[in-house]
Chains A and B, each alone.
Chain A
Amino acid sequence: MSLLSDGGPAAAAAPSSSVAPTAVPPRAGVARRFLRKPVAVASVAWLLLVAVLAAAAPLLTSASPTASSITNALAPFGGDSPLGTDGLGRDVLAQLLYGARTSLVGALIVVAVALVLGLPAGVLAGYYRGRFDAAASWVANLVMAQPAIIILLVVLAQFGRSTELAMLVFGVVIAPGVFRLVRASIIAVRGELYVDAARVAGLSDPRIMRRHVLPVVVAPTIIQMSQVLGIAIVLQAGLEFIGLGSANQASWGGMLNDAFAKIYAAPNLLLLPGLAIVVTVTACSLVGNGLRDVLGVGATPPVRRRSAVRAVGPVVEDGRPSSGTAPAPDDALLRVEGLRVAYPEPDGGEGEVVHGVSLTIRRGEVHGLVGESGSGKSQTAFAVLGLLPPQAHTSATTLTFDGGDLRGISRRGMNQLRGRRIGYIPQEPMSNLDPSFRIGSQLTEPMRHHLGLSKAEAKAKAIQLLDRVGIVDPARVFDSYPHQISGGMAQRVLIAGALSCDPDLLIADEPTTALDVTVQAEVLDLVRDLQAERDLGVLLVTHDFGVVADLCDTVTVMRAGEVVESAAAAQLFADPQHEYTRSLLAATLEGGPARAALTTPAGGTR
């Protein structure tokens, strides 16, 4: 077998040719993906058109945009002026073309100033932190706190009307936005291990910045700049409209000003400059959106972390009958047969991740559900809890809890069971406590809701529970926030929470994986004691056969969405039936020989 099969024994069973890295479609170029977006392409085309027309204005019209002739005011379309003239007899077409120049140049000034000031400062502050960061952030905050329009008015009052000056000042005002975005992106990437790895690899700081840090900033900055471009055009038009633009320069805002003065005589004069502004600004915004989609900024988070599951009722339907499943005993607390979970795929079909899983848990039984990552064990547990994401499609031939059918149960009915009769212990204790509420209120709320206890009764019971799960100073922890306690304590708190409404079934998803071994041992002891004390049924999802051996009465082994073996724990460890179970047990290092002490150094370097 090839050593490549890091897919584990799952892959080992398959022919070794299929074991090579999963074929993933080749990287589509950013440009090519962008070209597949018609709206974004049309927007870019519009902006390019505006730019070309603005640049070629002298070639397209011989009329001067500023030369007025009172005798020729408000001329209609056609003739010498194809689009007519305005209230002062100025050629509308020429004004539009030269006005586009003013708009684009002004907007580019804003972008250039904002980038020149914000980008390097953001990069240095984010990468080196320290005093420069403190000073630069202070200045940025100060500038951001100023009202932009008042600064603009003051500057223009002081130095005279000038569109360029106004845009320059606006660039300075908007630079802190760039600074903060760049700084935040860099701080985020600075903490990535690959930047540390690059330092260990001997790369110099400028090189690390160029190769690993700056590329991260490019996408958000480009997107931000496309938005700034639009904002600058609107702001500039606004200033010109109120008469603060350069005096002897055609502009879209100035055209609006003139059209506004003649709104009764020639209302259609508003149309063209208005359209020019609206379409151009919209195009800027749409280009930004297109870039964001293509560059994947703010897109789906990394797949590794399980996204927060929303509580919805299980959308369980009758599944296809699975043949040959033995009838489960009558004292079953939880009975699952033929459970299937599928997710919609981009091509319109469905990808099934759990293929007809069956398991039964009796009252007082601890049932281990074991498998490697991707085996579908957590999906199975979440399907029982009705906590799969809404797009998941779940079906089963049987899914009963204490005799009641869970298939097609209402959201309300499921909420009555969850927390009340089915407790849940999650993998990551910290991310399952809300950081903005005290432990006490998070513990008492379900009790007050489900059991109808008064505030005082709920508090008394919560403190009693905290004491029971081995928390030394329960009253203090009751009043603490989650960040004030350790991970082990947080897991105890969650166990207390899972038990608070005296459930019959406890579903624990890798409850000790995030904990240190010594803490893990204590938490396992706690779960064992509580289970015996309350005769709980437990579904324990884990990848660790040590945890299974410690706690479980029965075990179900899963691989790639299917059950490969289900047996009593003692029997499974003593005499595993399935090849896959055997290979998993063989992979444990525990009990293997220790490596001998080094006698002669291996290899050449001595």
Chain B
Amino acid sequence: MKKILTRYFSGEDFDYHFVLSLLGPVIFDQFFWWFLILSTRQ
């Protein structure tokens, strides 16, 4: 897993930890926003 993450999500100036730490909150944010829209329209 670590190998795959390093291969696809690491660069010369950043590693996959940086990429995932950026991506994680954005996914959570969008998921919560979707949940809010869904619960409002339900």
Are A and B bound to each other?
Answer: no
* A residues lining the B interface (CB < 8 Å): none
* B residues lining the A interface (CB < 8 Å): none
